Amino acid sequence: MAQLIRGLDARRVADNLARARAEIGRDDVQILAAVKYVAAEEMGVLTEAGVTLVGENRAQELEIKAPPHPELIWDFIGHVQSRKVKLILPHVRWIHSVASDSVLKELGRHAGPGTEVLVEVNVARDESKSGVLPEDLEGFLKRCPVSVVGLMTMPPFTERAEDSRRWFAALAQLAGEHGLRELSMGTSQDYVVAAEEGATIVRLGTSLYT
């Protein structure tokens, strides 16, 4: 496991946040701070820096970090284990990574009225990644027992941000075809390209903290 991030400087995070907003150049893009490796005691620093939206990857960490910080909007951005769905739902606005029928079953059992999620799509057909295949998306959306507001993807790792553009464009096309408004795509390496292709949420970690 990677070492947890401690000793964050609120001014540096605020400067990095402002720089990312300027580089994105669109007011309608939400910047989500990915906090998987941020120590629980550092969450207040993010609030001080002006962060309003955060995303956690692990259900057990979400249960620790979220309750003390109701001032933050919490999303779940990691791989969803079906048995953890009921633990995640009370703490989050959206789950970004719904991608299996077992998760759909648990959403049907535990989601309350108004629950909204994003579906993860494996647009690149990367065997190392989770996600619904593009040709299976329509059926998956029909089976989902809660409202789907958008799509999420994690393209294959690449050294060049530009190499991810085609996957972001493909996700945007799928969202348009299905009338979905939210596109969660782009990380610290490629968020500018993602925004150019229509991202409404970018998930930043390293670029905010260093």
Per-residue DSSP letter, 1:
-
Give me the chain's average pLDDT, please. Answer: 97
Please give the average per-residue pLDDT across 104-126, as a whole number.
97
pTM of this structure:
0.96
Would residue 93 count as lying in a domain?
yes
Radius of gyration of the chain (CA): 16
Q: How many angstroms separate the CA atoms of 193 and 187, rounded? A: 10
pLDDT above 70 for 1 = no
Would residue 5 count as lying in a domain?
no
> Which is nearest to 182 in space by CA: 105, 43, 77?
77
Residues 56-77 have pLDDT tens digits of 999 999 999 999 999 999 999 9
Which CATH number belongs to the domain containing residue 26 in this structure?
Answer: 3.20.20.10
Tell me which residue range forms the domain holding 70. Answer: 10-209
The three-state secondary structure class of 49 is: coil
Distance from chain centroid for Cα 2: 20
Would residue 81 count as lying in a domain?
yes
Residues 136-154 have pLDDT tens digits of 999 999 999 999 999 999 9
Count of domains in the chain? Answer: 1
> Which is nearest to 207 in space by CA: 50, 15, 6?
15
